[in-house]
Structures are given as structure tokens and as C-alpha cells.
Amino acid sequence: GRDMSIVQSGRHRDDGKYKYLGAMAGTNGKVYVFPCASEYVLQVDTVHMIPKNVGPNLRDTGMEIVYQNKWQNGLTCRQDQCVYGMPLSGHTLLRIDCSGTTTEEDSPDPIVTTWKLPSPRIECRDKFEGGVVTDAGVMYTVPNNHKGVLRIEPP
């Protein structure tokens, strides 16, 4: 049978709701689903039909201190082979590095990190809603309730 513990909400919820908000395909052909209340990034291998949690537990590691509505939607940057989750209520940008991965079933997991926002505006909820990627790989977010645009340059 399937392991139902893979797709789960965060410990702070007792209703099992609001697990994820949006997804993007990585440069490795796998889909990455952005945690809302979940404590992990969900990777979906659409070739082998395998979902699994990737990266560290975002809550336990302190990589994001917000438990609910962390990221919503995102962008894939071909230049650095990373998927970026846009901060909704979170105080960080989610980065999923697919550069060392392949489409194979036994491929290594991507590296999941977070980058602190230059001006997190802690009181601001629903900060950004998606964005665009330029031909040079520079990304710009679309402000929802935030007063500015976040410019993201791959390293």
C-alpha cells in the first residue's frame, strides 16, 4: 500500500487541511509542490508516479518560522536549475536546487534551502503572488499585499 504519511499537513493543524499551495516543474522533469501548512517540500515523480518528501523538515530546522501559508506558487529558473517558492506569509524565499538530480527513479534528492527576505515585513501577509523570469534568469515577484517587488538573482 501507499505511505499516507507523505502527504500531510503540519503538526500545528488538527484538521489535515491546507497542505500545499501551488507547484512548479523542475528542470529535472519532476514536480515540486510548495508547502502551505506541510513541513516538507513534496516532490512528485510523474514518470514513476512516486510522491515523496524532500529536503529537511522546515519547521524543525527553523528554515521558516511561519507555519501556515508559507509559500504560494513559484518560478523555475533554467540558469541555475532551481525552483523558487514565492513568499506568501513566510519570511523566506524557498529554493529547490535540482542541478544534481535527474529524471531517474534513483536520482539524488534536490537540495532544499531558504533565503531570508531583505525586508520580510513580518506583519505583511499574502506578500507575493507568482512572478516572471527574464531571459537572463533574473526573477521578479508580483506584489499582492507587499509594497515592493522582490528581485531574485540566481547565484
Question: What would the pLDDT profile of 120-131 be if each residue is shown by its tens digit?
Answer: 667 788 889 889
CA-to-CA distance for 80 and 115, rounded, in angstroms?
Answer: 15
Predicted structure pTM score = 0.91
Residue 4: predicted pLDDT: 57
Residue 44 · residue 31 · CB < 8 Å? yes
Residue 3: what pLDDT?
A: 62
Enumerate residues 6+ apart whose C-beta is below 8 A from 73.
Answer: 21, 22, 24, 34, 85, 86, 129, 130
9 pLDDT higher than 80: no
Which pLDDT belongs to residue 120? 63
